[in-house]
Structure 1
């Protein structure tokens, strides 16, 4: 995998590596980036304009943004990992780093936080008392899209790694939901188009439309506007008949068969195009109870909305 700038289009798979001169420029810029301002759940237009203007002149920045956008929305795209480990080492993952990460994400879409009781970057720590399959648990977090049960889900979900599992596990898993659907039998796709599925509650949310229950997994819309509304947890929590449950299980199996996995490192942020891909996580390593709270795996989550 090559660094941005060393190959035509500056792209290495779905991992975006920044050249040293761009890293140095961003480290300097981060020290003077202003704090963001919010209007409701969204970054304000003035913040977006300022952030985009501040970063625009950095060397190789436009090439990096082009690589990122291609990775997220190209013909075979759908996710990207931007590797900011060197910048995290220089700045720490504090306010300056988060302003820089937010500014970079502003080149993709508008950052927002639909969970109204949380700040823009929501913590996803490791809770030994949580159900293992939850995002904050220690077990296998099966494939899903975020906010599956709302009428207007975020277009992108972003996960920033503050600390990986110090015991070396907890790899991120992703799967191309659209390709998984294409591998299904027509009869299964027909069942998944029925509004028969349910998962989760609708609580303290804003700017994501209304609660959608029951919902179809396949909404019949074009790729960049529709969703494959899937979460493996609905298999246990929906009151499904045998045929609809079997179709969803077949889709889950196809997602697992086509999955990719990698372990996020400190400073990495993962962006997932929710119209195309689903994500999850392998279990954390055994022995988490022996790791102090301040050293356990910690991610920060932020969502993005395309401009209408």
Structure 2
């Protein structure tokens, strides 16, 4: 398995300036599910004064889009050490992410940053479980999924496991036979429920894995969990399993450390997690792995025509 290479380390001058900015950024406001435009402008003005921020922003955008990697890990570890991961740090992280696209939280019952903790009683394959979380894109069953999903590491697995995994979905598709790609382009797949969601369009069920859109606009609508959905015939299930195998074959990994922010362009990559280490029952709940998740919406995003 390859180690993820698209890491972005901030220059020390910029780190120092951002630490100083930590106490200067105001609390955010939201408009519906989205970070308010007024907050974005306030944050942008503050960040613009930080030395080397514009250059770092350019590197980040180039990494995430166009011919760049399509994913990035922004390493804010030194800032986390200085500020802790509380309100000041979250404002900084939110401000940086707002330079990529607009932060929002489509789950109505959660705040802007949604906790993904470790629950020993959860299904091991879920995001809060302790087992292997297979490749997927977030909100696969909506007509307008988030353009980016982001994960902030508050605490890594103290036992050293639980690496995040990613795979280039389009590269995986390109390795399939034309017959398999034709099956994946059919409106035959489904997964999950549509409950208490906002600003992600409508429920998309069934959906095609391959929507025929250009790579920067469409999605490879994949979640390995859809293989367990009833009603999927053997031909379509076989094609989806082939795609899952190709995703595993091309995966990269990174073990996030405290203060790391993983940003994934969902138009290009799927993500998941390796199992946490055995012995989680011996780790105090307040010391177990904890991530925070935030979604991003690009301007002008549209969804598929479903009628």
Short-chain TM bin? over 0.9
Q: Distance in 1 between matches of 2:68 and 2:8?
A: 16
Unaligned runs of 5+ residues in structure 2 are 301-307
- 1:113 and 2:105 matched: yes
Q: Select which of 158, 181, 185 maps to 1:189.
A: 181
**TM-score, normalising length: structure 1:** 0.95
Question: 2:62 aligns to what SS in structure 1?
Answer: helix
- 1:180 and 2:172 matched: yes
Q: Say whether the 8 Å CA contact 1:135–1:141 is kept in structure 2.
A: yes
Q: Deviations over 1:13-56 (max 9, x none)?
A: 41000011100000001111000000000011101111111101
Aligned residues: 297
Q: Distance in 1 between matches of 2:41 and 2:6?
A: 27
Question: 1:55 aligns to what SS in structure 2?
Answer: helix
By how many angstroms is 1:210 displaced?
0.5
By how many angstroms is 1:240 displaced?
1.0
Q: Which residue of 2 aligns with 1:75?
A: 67
Q: Which residue of 1 aligns with 2:206?
A: 214
Q: Select which of 37, 45, 56 maps to 2:48.
A: 56
Unaligned runs of 5+ residues in structure 1 are 1-11
Q: Which residue of 1 aligns with 2:127?
A: 135
Q: Which residue of 2 aligns with 1:283?
A: 275
Q: Which residue of 2 aligns with 1:252?
A: 244
Q: Say whether the 8 Å CA contact 1:199–1:238 is kept in structure 2.
A: no
Runs in 1 of length 4+ with deviation above 4 angstroms?
none
Q: Say whether the 8 Å CA contact 1:198–1:238 is kept in structure 2.
A: no
Q: Which residue of 2 aligns with 1:8?
A: none
Q: Which residue of 1 aligns with 2:226?
A: 234
**TM-score, normalising length: structure 2:** 0.96
Q: Select which of 271, 291, 303 maps to 1:299.
A: 291
Q: Which residue of 2 aligns with 1:17?
A: 9
